[in-house]
Every structure is written in structure tokens, then in C-alpha cells.
Amino acid sequence: SSSHVLEVIKDFERALENEENYDVIIKAGEEPKELRAHSFVLRTRCPYFKRALSENWEEKDDNGNFIFKKPNISVEVFKLILKYLYTGIADLSQHSKEMILQCLFASDELGLDKLIDQIQDDL
């Protein structure tokens, strides 16, 4: 059954990469770059997004897509975070210390406790 779990992970990773049926447009960094994602995954996986994408706070473009601006997190870091949210895996081995530190701050702000634990362990 663990092979089935792996399959699910791959499917989610593919969905993130293909941007299939995306409904969230993330504008990351001070000079914003767009990333595309699925609100359902974000809300399910992260309490921060559960609130940010709730009816109370949502911001949408004309196409009905969520617009989420995050100027204080770079697009590289956000990509890593998204991959973690979709797959539960954050591979930091190839990244610089500065990058890893940025990831740590971002996961603290977004309340991703497990990711904080993992990064601290890696450090």
C-alpha cells in the first residue's frame, strides 16, 4: 500500500507542476512573480491559507481566481513551500543556507509546524 501512497504523492506533485485547474494565483516576492496552485490543497494543508482563502478575506480576479500577494516571501521559497504542501516533502539538500533560513521564517509565518521541525533538524 505504500506504493499507492507514493502514487498519490506523485499525482499531487504533477497537479502542481501542470497547474491543471488552478484557482489560486500567488504573487510572491517584492517584485512579484506568479505561481499557480489549488485553493483546496492549500486550505486543507495549511491553517494560514484556510483563513486567508476564506470568505471573510478572499480576493479574486475577474476570472474568479483567488489572488494572493505575498511580498515578503520570494518565489523560490514559495515554490519550495508549495511542493511541501502538495507532497509533504521538502528537499533542502541542494539549497544554500540563506535559502534554508528564508524557508524557516516563511514556514514559521505560515504556521507549518512540521516543516519548522524538519528544517531545524536539518540545520
Partner 1 sequence: MSSRKQPKGKIRPPKKPNSADAQFNDNWDRLAQAIREIHKKNASILSFEELYRNAYNMVLHKNGDKLYNGVREVITQHLEEVAVSQVVPAFPLSGASSSQTNPNGAGGANFLKVLKTVWEDHTTCMLMIRDILMYMDRVYAKTANVPLVYDLGLDLFRDTIVRSQNYPIQNHLLEVLLQQIKLERENEIIDRTNVKASIDMLLELTDASTKDTVYATDFENKFLETSSEYYRVEGQMLVGEYDAPEYMKKVDKRLNEEEQRVRHYLSQTTEPKIRNIVEEELISKHLKTVIEMENSGLIPMLRNEKMDDLGRMYKLFGRVVKGHDEMKSAISDYIRELGKAINETVTSNTTAEGGNAASGDKQTGATVAVRWVQEVLDLKDKFDKVQNLALSNDKAFQTSFNEAFEYFINKNSKSPEFISLFIDDNLKKGLKGKTEEEVDSVLDKTITLFRFIGEKDVFERYYKQHLAKRLLLGRSVSDDAERGMIGKLKVECGYQFTTKLEGMFNDMRISSDTMTDFKEYLDKSVLEKPKLDLSVTVLTSTFWPMNLSASPRCNLPPELTKACGTFQNFYLGRHSGRRLTWQSNMGTADIRGSFKARKHELNVSTYQMVILLMFNDKQDGESLSYEQIKGESDIPEADLKRNLQSLACAKYKILVKEPKGKEINPGDQFNFNNDFTAPLQRIKIQTVASKVESEGERKETREKVEEARKHQTEAAIVRIMKDRKTMEHNLLIAEVVKQLQSRFMPNPALIKKRIEALIEREYLERATGDRRVYNYLA
> How far apart are CB 58 and partner 1 at their closest, in Å?
9
**104 touches partner 1 by CB under 8 A:** yes
Rg of the chain taking only CA atoms, in angstroms: 14
**29 touches partner 1 by CB under 8 A:** no
DSSP per-residue codes, 48-92: HHHHHTSTTT--B-TTS-EEEEETTS-HHHHHHHHHHHHHS----
> How far apart are CB 57 and partner 1 at their closest, in Å?
4
Could you tell me which residues come within 8 angstroms of residue 75 by beta carbon, excluding any fewer than 6 positions away? Answer: 28, 29, 33, 35
Helix, strand or coil, per DSSP, at residue 33: strand
- The pattern of x and - marking residues 64 through 103 that bind partner 1 according to CB under 8 A reads ----xxx-x-------------------------------
Q: Are 119 and 100 in contact (CB under 8 A)?
A: yes
- The pattern of x and - marking residues 30 through 49 that bind partner 1 according to CB under 8 A reads -----------------xx-
**22 touches partner 1 by CB under 8 A:** no
Residues that bind partner 1 (CB under 8 A): 47-48, 51-52, 54, 56-57, 59, 68-70, 72, 104-105, 108-109, 111, 113-114, 116-117, 120-121
